[in-house]
Structure 1
Amino acid sequence: MNENIMDDQEDLNDIDAQPTKSLFVDMLTRDIGLGRAVLDLVDNSIDGARRLRPDKDANFEGLQIEIDLDSNKFRIEDNCGGIPIDLARRYAFRIGRPPEMKATPNSVGQFGVGMKRALFKFGRVFEVNSKTATEAFDLRVNVDEWVSDDKSWKFKFDSTETALDNAPDNCGTTITVTDLREDVASTFGKEYFRIELTREIQSAEQEYIDRGLRITVNQKTLIATPWELAVGSGMQPAIDQFEITAPDQEPVHVRIFAGTAESSPKQAGWYVFCNGRMVLEADQSSATGWSTLGQTDVPKYHNQFARFRGFVFFDCKDARRLPWNTTKTGVDTDSAIFQSVRLKMIDAMRPVINFLNDLDAERENPKDEQPLTAAVSKAALVPLKSLTSISAFKRPDKAVPKGPPLVGITFKRPQDRVDALQDALGVTSAKQAGEMAFDLTARRLLGEES
């Protein structure tokens, strides 16, 4: 009797802090876009490919990821080795990555939330069918039914098989999501979204596509377009490579490239990669050093710098060391590793910015020599993988000004008077009117010959 009383007293001291599944699912899926959720599933397939072929520069020819989506369903299928039953049972469907789980070296699916987040976000029913060389399993989950039972957070296999002898080409994973959520069905059914998704995957996974991995979206094969920088005619990009080490930690390998390419305001900026996965594209913000004051000042981005391209590659066997956020949509700017590399990015960027300033100034005087413009037009665009020698940024010298030094004159006058003067002088800009008015006045007052 006394024991029962004590048990009741202990129960009264307990406070239930267990999360509800509905809140958990809502919070998990709220802050990631549909395109990025699809990319999370692609990352998982790529990790399978890396487990099959773990060499640093492995060729992925013969491996493929097929994505099909419309307003009725989403499906992704790969032949990248499949998920072992024990891995699925103990880790793959956990929310988060347990510390005892052995990570894939140089993985891109790092946080243990991507697959679950995507499946919950897309629809109310999902199936996972997977085959390894010796095993297979099938899993079907009705999300609404699972959410309604807060007592158990477990899934159950529909079937499992062991002691199989599957051919390598038949080893992989297929994920199908049906009963799509209304907003997801609407978006997946739109052609513009599928076009943008294709571009997003192609950009983010370009390194793996370039190494032979075949990715298709609705039967369209994605093509690798190599990242390039201008070389030749006195032009050489800045290239740096180094390691960041810490006691008892895997080293982080860093490669920095900074230089010029074709003029494109949309493509200019910094590109940041973690284990081959692009997490920042054409970034023009202070996160990558723009609008920074210090020993090496860098201005805020504007279209004068449309030729600038910078690339930073972080690679590490332990993906937890890399400076990316959980949605892989940006860098962790608080990371000590990224902060130290950012300083080197700024140092690499500054001489390129100086060159682009000189290039812009040269074009404002079309009658003068234009060695920088000539160099830019003659330089060849070379893929980054062909650039291996560490080098500072090199550029041709700018033209030496001829004649007396020039001084800028800046002043303002009422718009109607400036317009009238332009008409009287037969010119089309305030600058031309000011220059001609100065020349006429100088001749009259200083007695200069016309």
Structure 2
Amino acid sequence: MTEKNLADTRPTKEYLVNGITKDVSVEECIFDLIDNSIDAYPRQSNEIVSEYDGYTIDLTLQNNLFCINDCGKGIDQLLLKNDTLRFGTKTNHHTTSIGFYGIGLNRAIFKLGKIINITTETDTERSIIKLDASKFLKDNDNWSLPIISEQLKEKKGTFIKIENLNSEVNDSFTNPEWITSFCKQISIRYSEFLKKNLKITINEKEIAPHLVSIRTNSGFKPLEKEFTHKGIKVIISLGQSAEHFFTYEKSYNLEKNATPQECGWFVYCNDRAVKLFDWTPDTGWHTKFHSEHTGFIGKAYFIGNAGKLPWNTSKTDVDLNNETYKKSLETMKKFSEDWRKHTTKVLKKGYRPITDENPVINDLFGIPPQEIQTPPQEIQTPPQETQIPPQETQIPPQETQIPPQETQIPPQETQIPPQETQIPPQETQTPPQETQTPPQETQDDEELPTHEELLYDIPPHALNQNQLFESFPDKKSPFNIPLNETKLCSIINEMSKLKLDPIKGSPYAALFLLRAFIELSCRYYVKTKNSRINLNQCASLADQVKSCLDHMISSNAFNATEDTRDIDSLKALCNVSASQKTIRNIQYLQNTLHHPRNIWDKDNINAFWYSILPFLIKCYE
């Protein structure tokens, strides 16, 4: 076969260059050149670099001028001859490089401008390549470029200078807004390198890393998984953004809080960010996005041979067909779903985890728990003063029951109750003996009600009420809470607003506040009654209530004869035995707050409320 009968299948240079530059942006071309400079860092091993020691990459973006200069190891002449500028050669600087596909350098220089000069120096050689793109593209027969050798100048590294920029590029470089936006992209995409003391400057301005971090004091425990698949190391983590706080957290600030555009998934290949702030199925968010789910940061790191990493040729997106990425996506989906469920619990069910940002339960009175034991000892010195208010508070009921003319002799009347109160102790010495065997006595008179009857024996209309204070006059609180107890007043105020309907209300929030109010009430009772009860030694909230209840009974706060039903019902609420675990008692309330699927319906909340109410009222008498 003679040569004249052979078909020429060589591509034209213009067609080839147009094909590789048409769909790539100016930013992506510069990213490719930065990647090459990072790969040129003189490393000691093939592992990911942990410290760049101030290694610098300088970029100049000006009118009709682009320059990039690094102080790396340079390019030796053998690579220049056979690989560096050859279309499609997969140069592999090392196993964890970020330059792989062999088209980045060619694509960048032809996209940016027409006059190109490449100067590079190694320990032993200094080489220069000059290219006039306009002339080169018209000559389809000559694909080689001359390499000029020079004497060493002890300026190791690579310097690329491009002039006579293409119009699109020059328009961008002369636009201040574009420069600002580009600098921000550099700070995000190369944040992992910048954090390791790599320095990148643009027009002599050093770029700071855009830090994307996960909170350690969040109510959402950070998730993390690490594994290796087909030689690629994968590290996946997800948590609440360090810049995001829920409205119940004390550091919440609407103006400073992270927006949806500042949260989402980040995917890194050998530390190079290829996916940013993503909320799509590509990174595991498989449900419709709502702003209420804002606040998480997910990170997926893929470390290994560049040819096996899940990125596209422009390194601006993931390769969904990559087997390692497919396996990783399963974990990313699960982590995303865990966050979605957490935000739903917080925003729709009133979930309020206890953290440094939300110390509601740990410090309800603003004092450390260990100091709670001291107030009774300090208050023992002015017992006369603390006894006076009860005498004064006893007078108004007498005034409301006695005609006005009798209110002129309250001092005489107030001297009688002490005599009367001295008698009940003699009488109340026997009730404890009677209360030890109440079943025997009551069985003679009437049959005891069942536990459920005791617990749910409430006014019929109460089961239908949609707010806790709905049955009280003007829907106001029945508790005598001093105004200086601001936290107590705040909780009561919130409790009075919440509706119990599961669809239009917030039953979970109501339960959470009720649980907090019960603990507050126990501590208030201990503080104001000079009781020696040590709530810190109580194993549970039910034990705290029972300790206070026992003290109330022994101090005749309850009438042992008339309040039997209330006492028995309250004791039932404190029951923590296994046989009672499904009853709406205090322990089950605790369980519900940790397992929202056990949420109570409106009737059960009202039932519990009216059962615990006598105890709560006594705490503030």
TM-score category, normalised to shorter length: 0.7 to 0.9
Amino acid at match of 1:147: L
* 3-state SS in 2 of match to 1:46: helix
- Relative contact order, higher structure (CA 8 A, sep 6+): 1
Q: Which residue of structure 1 aligns with residue 214 of structure 2?
A: 229
Among 228, 236, 239, the alignment partner of 1:259 is 239
Return 263-272 or 230-239, whichever deviates more: 230-239
Alpha-carbon distance change, 129 to 273 in structure 1, aligned in 2, over 3 angstroms = same
Alpha-carbon distance change, 50 to 201 in structure 1, aligned in 2, over 3 angstroms = farther
Q: Which residue of structure 1 aligns with residue 100 of structure 2?
A: 110
Among 27, 30, 33, the alignment partner of 2:25 is 33
- Cα separation, 2, equivalents of 1:184 and 1:406: 61
- Whether the 8 Å contact between 2:67 and 2:160 is mirrored in structure 1 is yes
Q: Which residue of structure 2 aligns with residue 434 of structure 1?
A: none
Q: 1:353-407 CA distances to partner (integer Å, 9 max, x unpaired)? A: 11011122256xxxxxx624x749469xxxxxxxxxxxxxxxxxxxxx9899524
Among 255, 268, 277, the alignment partner of 1:273 is 268
- Whether the 8 Å contact between 1:52 and 1:80 is mirrored in structure 2 is no
Q: Which residue of structure 2 aligns with residue 314 of structure 1?
A: 302
- Cα separation, 1, equivalents of 2:356 and 2:299: 19
Q: 1:292-346 CA distances to partner (integer Å, 9 max, x unpaired)? A: xxxxxxx222211110211000000x21010000011100011111111101111
Alpha-carbon distance change, 409 to 332 in structure 1, aligned in 2, over 3 angstroms = same
- Cα separation, 2, equivalents of 1:85 and 1:51: 20
The answer to whether 1:371 aligns with 2:352 is yes
- Cα separation, 1, equivalents of 2:191 and 2:17: 31
* 3-state SS in 2 of match to 1:273: strand
Amino acid at match of 2:275: L
* 3-state SS in 2 of match to 1:348: helix
- Whether the 8 Å contact between 1:62 and 1:213 is mirrored in structure 2 is yes
- Whether the 8 Å contact between 1:272 and 1:312 is mirrored in structure 2 is yes
- Cα separation, 1, equivalents of 2:89 and 2:289: 38
Q: Which residue of structure 1 aligns with residue 196 of structure 2?
A: 211
Alpha-carbon distance change, 371 to 407 in structure 1, aligned in 2, over 3 angstroms = closer
Task: Give 1:226 deviation, angstroms.
Answer: 2.9
* 3-state SS in 1 of match to 2:40: helix
Alpha-carbon distance change, 103 to 228 in structure 1, aligned in 2, over 3 angstroms = same
- Cα separation, 2, equivalents of 1:81 and 1:53: 14
Q: Which residue of structure 1 aligns with residue 386 of structure 2?
A: none
Q: 1:253-272 CA distances to partner (integer Å, 9 max, x unpaired)? A: 00001111113210121100
Amino acid at match of 1:345: M
Q: Which residue of structure 2 aligns with residue 448 of structure 1?
A: none
TM-score (norm 2): 0.54
Structure 2, unaligned runs of 5 or more? 245-257, 360-493, 506-621
Amino acid at match of 2:352: P
* 3-state SS in 2 of match to 1:353: helix
Amino acid at match of 1:65: I
Task: Give 1:213 deviation, angstroms.
Answer: 0.9
After the TM superposition, which residues 92-241 of structure 1 pair with which residues of structure 2 at under 5 Å, given as runs? 92-98=84-90, 101-157=91-147, 159-161=148-150, 164=152, 167=154, 170-232=155-217, 234-241=219-226
* 3-state SS in 1 of match to 2:233: strand
Among 501, 518, 521, the alignment partner of 1:406 is 501
Alpha-carbon distance change, 234 to 407 in structure 1, aligned in 2, over 3 angstroms = closer
- Whether the 8 Å contact between 1:65 and 1:77 is mirrored in structure 2 is yes
Task: Give 1:58 deviation, angstroms.
Answer: 3.5
* 3-state SS in 1 of match to 2:184: helix
Amino acid at match of 2:182: L
Q: Which residue of structure 1 aligns with residue 4 of structure 2?
A: 11
Amino acid at match of 2:329: R
- Whether the 8 Å contact between 1:235 and 1:375 is mirrored in structure 2 is no
Among 325, 328, 336, the alignment partner of 1:349 is 336
* 3-state SS in 1 of match to 2:288: coil
- Whether the 8 Å contact between 2:92 and 2:100 is mirrored in structure 1 is no
Task: Give 1:197 deviation, angstroms.
Answer: 1.1
Task: Give 1:223 deviation, angstroms.
Answer: 1.1
Alpha-carbon distance change, 56 to 173 in structure 1, aligned in 2, over 3 angstroms = same
Task: Give 1:149 deviation, angstroms.
Answer: 0.4
- Whether the 8 Å contact between 1:71 and 1:187 is mirrored in structure 2 is no
Q: Which residue of structure 2 aligns with residue 325 of structure 1?
A: 312
- Cα separation, 1, equivalents of 2:87 and 2:331: 36
Task: Give 1:65 deviation, angstroms.
Answer: 0.1
Alpha-carbon distance change, 84 to 355 in structure 1, aligned in 2, over 3 angstroms = same
Task: Give 1:94 deviation, angstroms.
Answer: 0.8
Amino acid at match of 1:310: G
Amino acid at match of 1:300: K
The answer to whether 1:300 aligns with 2:288 is yes
Instruction: Give the alignment's Cα RMSD to 1 decimal.
Output: 2.4
- Cα separation, 1, equivalents of 2:183 and 2:358: 33
Q: Which residue of structure 1 aligns with residue 229 of structure 2?
A: 244
Q: 1:226-255 CA distances to partner (integer Å, 9 max, x unpaired)? A: 32112125442101111012xxxxx10000
How many residues end up aligned between the 2 structures?
A: 355
* 3-state SS in 1 of match to 2:215: strand
Q: 1:122-142 CA distances to partner (integer Å, 9 max, x unpaired)? A: 111110011111111011100
Alpha-carbon distance change, 11 to 127 in structure 1, aligned in 2, over 3 angstroms = same
